[in-house]
Structure 1
Amino acid sequence: MPQQKITHLCLVKITMELDPRFAQSLVDIVAAELNKNVNITNNHGVIIASFSKERVSHIHEAAARMLTSGPIREFSVTTNDESRLKGVRQGFNVPIMFGDGCVGVIGVTGVPDTAAPYARLAAKFVEAALESNARQEKLVRALKEKEELQSILLNKIISVQEEERKKISRELHDETSQALTSIIVGLRVLSEHVQSEGEREKILEMRDLAVKTLEDVHHLAVQLRPALLDDLGLVAATQKYIENYSRQYNIPLELNVLNLSRERFRPEIEITLYRILQEALTNIAKHASATQVMVTLKKQRTKLILIIKDNGMGFNADILSGVGSDTCLGIHGMHERIALLSGEFYIDSAEGEGTVITVEIPLKRHKKAESGLGQAH
């Protein structure tokens, strides 16, 4: 391409805001393709991007006058215009059309007849770039809206699940447990009024079975929704769960609580950390063959941190990309819950070296957590 021409591009924003960084990227591309100087102005005719950096903030009067004088059209800059107008050079100028109107002007300096093809080519390129950028922004917005809708839906699902768990837990505790307690008392009284030793033994066996059933119902109610979590908070519920877990599975478990006492947090934070603790410890009991577990729950400035470490067999972290096991599904569920609260979730594991799960949840409320999960309390 001949070297004597100097391309002058000026794009003035009319129906859209032109980001200076985006404008500079267009300047660099067009200038490299045409090997010319390129400038872009805003809707006041002030240059906001230029291949010749010293021209930034200068006014291009010809473009500004055309855009405010009436019909949008191609126009030439003569040598006479160059001498009497500020910031212009002889050449040919082409409007850039985008959307419903004109968003700028491209000017190529030189003899107008020679400069015209370059100006029109540059205008088409910039129009294509703007169209592409607009389509990309539209896709990004659509994807963001989809992700937000998915988060809201998942939030609502978790909220409904927690409310249903809470309802069933209360029914088991208030109705089923009381009914079983009445049966146990009745069987004990009945055993005292029978004459046959054999009949008394059968009644006592039935009483023992009812006691065992009552214990199972109580355990199920706690698993569904511990009353301590609602009444006393995360620390008390964690301490009680770990005590029962260690006794049930006969696994030594150490709990470290730092910078916390009976402090309460938003319900969605407390139930999320409690569910993650449940899921992680259940996975350890089922799959890890661990002989020692350490749980740390601490507050660190503006976030809560939960760390669960075991000395079990560990696993290859690459399997987390699949969904072929209950363990992967459980970990995926943990990750989804944490993501709703804008938290962080890390797993460090290797075969034969145990596993460390770290969860960090910010205490500051986030939009994702306001759409339903906060109601599950």
Structure 2
Amino acid sequence: MRFTFILSMFLLILVQFIGHISAQAATEPLIILQEQPFSYDIGSQVYLLEDPSGKLTFDQVRQQPTKFTKSQQEAPVYGPSSSAVWAVFRVRNASQENKWYLEVGSSFLQEVDLYRITANGGFEIIKSGAGQSYETRLVKTNRLILPLNLPTGTEQTYYARFRSRNILRFPLQIATMTALYEKNHTIDVLNGIYFGLLFALMVYNLFVYFSLRDKAYLYYIFFIFCIAADTACIRGYFLEFLPEPLAWMVNIRVFAGLAILFSLWFTNAILQVKQYLPKLYRLRWIIILSVGIIMLLNVLRLYVWSFAWMLLSFIPVYLYVYTAGILIYRRGFKPALYYTLGLAALGVGILIYICKDNNILPETAFTESSLQLGSFIEAVVLSYALASKFNFYKLEKEQVQAQAMQQAIAFSQELIQSQENERKRIAAELHDSVGQSLILIKNRILLLKKRLDDPEKVARHADDLTETVAHTISEIRGISYGLRPFQLDMLGLTQSINGLVDEVSEGSGIDIRVNADSIDNLFPKEQEINVYRIIQECLNNIVKHSAATSARVNIVREDGLVHLSVEDNGKGINPTNATNSVPKSGFGLRGMQERLSILAGKLQIKSAVPQGTVIQITLPVKPVPVATTVTTREFVS
């Protein structure tokens, strides 16, 4: 019995020992460093333990080796996670090189701690990561490089702890400093070219902004700066240059959130979304609210939720910008095509990079640099889109100027023809009316001389002569009044308009009502004739074309504005032809437009209710501190 008991205890101890050795062997895979090669990717050779709470200590982790599981990925990834992940691996240095380093491929990891078990059973720790001051790094570079302190011929177990505020992904590599330098040198050169080109684009467009004062260029500069700054945070460059109190900007990807905001403002500025797509423009608040939620989650220190929400925010952002770009391009705004292609390049780059971060795509030179390549193409294409926008509006302006020049030439030709016709009319009136009257006066004077001996005939001829002279004077006054109304100089603009309405109403048989504020002395004297002629043309159009029986003229004076409206109850105009602009045909209306251009006024023509036409005119004036009087007159034929 005693022998059996001793044998059982021995077997139990042996089983526990073998189990401990097996567990230790399972959680401490041996990585042998040899003379060649000088770098080893160990991501798939480590054993991993996830700590969701992030509170496990090194001693607690070391006491539960059976909970570690072997990594199945070259670059272990846990997605957006607040967990801490422990990795354990054992290394034997079979080379002549004494200085080997562990490089962690994700420079933006918040915490990277390397534990090394010492000979006396204790441990030493090396802390790194974006959450640590840059000055405390043993190897001062943008990458997370930690010394293994593994002499030749020795063997050592290491534990590493990783934690992130974004994507929890940690490619692992053991290499010599020479190998790391040779590998990273090319990457640093390419990154330098990338940031240099973005800086050159920002400086160039800054000078263009100072020249044109177009806010689209300013939003472009801030947008590209945020993209470059976020890339610098991902690559680990920004932490070196930021003061330590601002290091939090690297950890929470604040520049990515700002890039979303500036992309929205840039989109609205370059594509003029408010003008072309007002309904879509109102949805911008969804994106602004999303950015606000990102910032709020960061303030609450819910960093992983903030990052996840930022990834979700790309969905409404890209729906907004692509919808705006495509729809506005289809409306004829060609720069929208370049804008859409530029944003597409960035979107593809981001998508490839996210797929690489989640091990959907392999980590290659192309996938690793896809974010920078996409953002660089986007920056160049968007800069071209801004130049295209400038050329588009320049060409449009030249076309408008050419059209305006053609219209001005046509108007000048019609004006000259109108002046010639007016001269012919005046000449005909002078010849046929005044000239004939003067001949008649001359003949009657001659006849009067022959009959001086007959007093009755002299009196009768004198009366006829007086009547002829009076008629001639009246005709001369009518001709003169047609050239310039004398009331303007004698009675003022308001009374002249009243007299004009009186004359048109009596001559046409149309019931015209006037409600007019006093507008005397509001316009320069040389411009009052233009106001008078505009109203005269409106009344002439009613008489000639409207077949109206009544009309109404309203003149309302406000601070800085005079509102004129002429409304009739005639046959009106076709609603499809009623626009806010002046018709392209009709010399009278075009003449009105020319006079309004001189007065800096606006004209609107629309249908009246239930029928008729309304002509509304707005004229800017300088406010004059005088009492406003209202004159209301009715003319009934």
1:73-152 mapped onto 2 (5 Å cutoff): 81=237, 84-86=240-242, 113-114=365-366, 115-144=368-397, 147=400
Once the two structures are superposed, the pairs formed by residues 1-377 of structure 1 within 5 Å of their partners are 11-12=198-199, 13-17=202-206, 40-41=224-225, 47=226, 81=237, 84-86=240-242, 113-114=365-366, 115-144=368-397, 147=400, 154=408, 186-194=442-450, 215=474, 218-229=477-488, 233-260=492-519, 262-267=520-525, 269-319=527-577, 328-349=586-607, 353-363=611-621
2:441/2:468 contact within 8 Å kept: no
Comparing 140-149 with 338-347, greater Cα deviation is found at 140-149
Tell me the SS of whatever aligns to 2:205.
coil
Cα distance in 2 for residues equivalent to 1:230 and 1:145: 42
How far did residue 140 of structure 1 move?
1.4
- Please tell me whether the aligned partners of residues 232 and 238 of structure 2 are also in contact (alpha carbons under 8 angstroms): no
**Cα gap change, 1:286 to 1:83, in 2 (>3 Å):** closer
SS in 2 for 1:40: helix
Q: 1:228 to 1:251 in 2, by over 3 A?
A: same
How far residue 345 of structure 1 moved from its aligned partner, in angstroms, is: 1.8
Q: Which deviates further from its counterpart, 230-239 or 201-210?
A: 201-210
Distance in 2 (CA, whole Å) between partners of 1:203 and 1:226 is 32
Distance (whole Å) between structure 2 residues aligned to residue 248 and residue 194 of structure 1 = 42
Distance 1:251 1:215, change over 3 A: farther
Deviation at 1:146, TM superposition (A): 5.7
Distance 1:319 1:192, change over 3 A: farther
Task: Return closer, same or farther for 1:352/1:82 CA change in 2, 3 Å cut-off.
Answer: closer
Q: CA separation in 1, counterparts of 2:616 and 2:238?
A: 68
> Secondary structure of the residue that 2:373 maps to in structure 1?
helix
User: Cα distance, 1:359 vs. partner?
Assistant: 0.9
Looking at structure 1, the residues matched to 364 and 238 of structure 2 have their Cα atoms a distance apart, in angstroms, of 13
Deviations 1:84-106 (CA, angstroms, capped at 9, x unpaired): 343779xxxxxxxxxxxxxxxx9
Q: Give the structure-1-normalised TM-score.
A: 0.56
Q: Deviations over 1:157-214 (max 9, x none)?
A: 59x97xx79x97xx98xx999978865654553453355999x999999998887676
CA contact (8 A) 1:184 1:210 kept: no
Amino acid in structure 2 at the alignment position of 1:138: N
Paired residue secondary structure (2:542)? helix
Q: TM-score, normalised by structure 2?
A: 0.36
Q: Deviations over 1:34-92 (max 9, x none)?
A: xxxxx632xxxxx4xx69xxx89xx969xxxxxxxxxxxxxxx976x566343779xxx
Question: Pairwise CA RMSD of aligned residues?
Answer: 5.6
Alignment partners' CA distance in 1, 2:585 and 2:238 = 74
Tell me: CA distance 1:258–1:149, structure 2 relative to 1, closer, same or farther (3 Å).
farther
Cα distance in structure 2, aligned partners of 1:60 and 1:215: 90
Q: Which amino acid aligns with 1:294?
A: R
Distance change (3 Å), C-alpha of 1:83 and 1:326: closer
User: For the Cα contact (< 8 Å) 2:494–2:518, is it kept in 1?
Assistant: no
Following the alignment from structure 2 to structure 1, what is the Cα–Cα distance between the partners of residues 576 and 215? Answer: 43
* Cα distance, 1:279–1:259 mapped onto 2, change above 3 Å: closer
1:286, CA displacement in angstroms?
Answer: 1.3
CA contact (8 A) 2:434 2:475 kept: no
Q: In 2, Cα distance between the equivalents of 1:313 and 1:205?
A: 47
Partner of 2:164: none
Contact 2:552 2:568 in 1 (8 A): yes
Partner of 2:510, secondary structure, is coil
Q: Are the counterparts in 2 of residues 290 and 311 from structure 1 also a CA contact under 8 Å?
A: yes
Q: Is the 8 A contact 1:191 1:204 kept in 2?
A: no
**Counterparts of 2:485 and 2:383 in 1: how far apart (Å)?**
57
User: Distance in 2 between the 1:270 and 1:232 partners?
Assistant: 12
Percent of aligned pairs with the same amino acid: 22
Whether the 8 Å CA contact 1:317–1:349 is kept in 2: the answer is: yes
Tell me if the contact between 1:320 and 1:328 (Cα under 8 Å) persists in the aligned partners.
no
Q: Within 2, Cα distance between the matches of 1:296 and 1:351?
A: 16
What secondary structure sits across from 2:557 in the alignment? strand
The CA distance in 2 between the partners of 1:190 and 1:226, in whole Å, is 36
Q: Which amino acid aligns with 2:606?
A: D
For residues 267 and 151 of structure 1, what CA distance do their matches in structure 2 show? Answer: 28
For residues 470 and 575 of structure 2, the distance between their equivalents in structure 1, rounded to whole angstroms, comes to 43
Question: Cα distance, 1:360 vs. partner?
Answer: 0.9
What do residues 126-180 of structure 1 show as CA deviations (whole Å, max 9, x unaligned)? 212211221221331343466468768849959x97xx79x97xx98xx999978
Q: 1:351/1:117 Cα in 2 relative to 1: closer, same or farther (>3 Å)?
A: closer
Give secondary structure in 1 for the equivalent of 2:539. Answer: helix
SS at match of 1:253: strand
Local SS of the residue matching 1:265 = coil
Aligned to 1:31: none
State the number of aligned residues: 297
Structure number with greater CO (CA < 8 Å, separation at least 6) is 1
Q: 1:362 Cα deviation (Å)?
A: 1.1
**Residue of structure 2 equivalent to 1:375:** none
SS of corresponding position for 1:273: helix
Kindly name which structure, 1 or 2, has the bigger radius of gyration based on alpha carbons.
2
Kept in 1, the 8 Å contact 2:448–2:461? The answer is: no
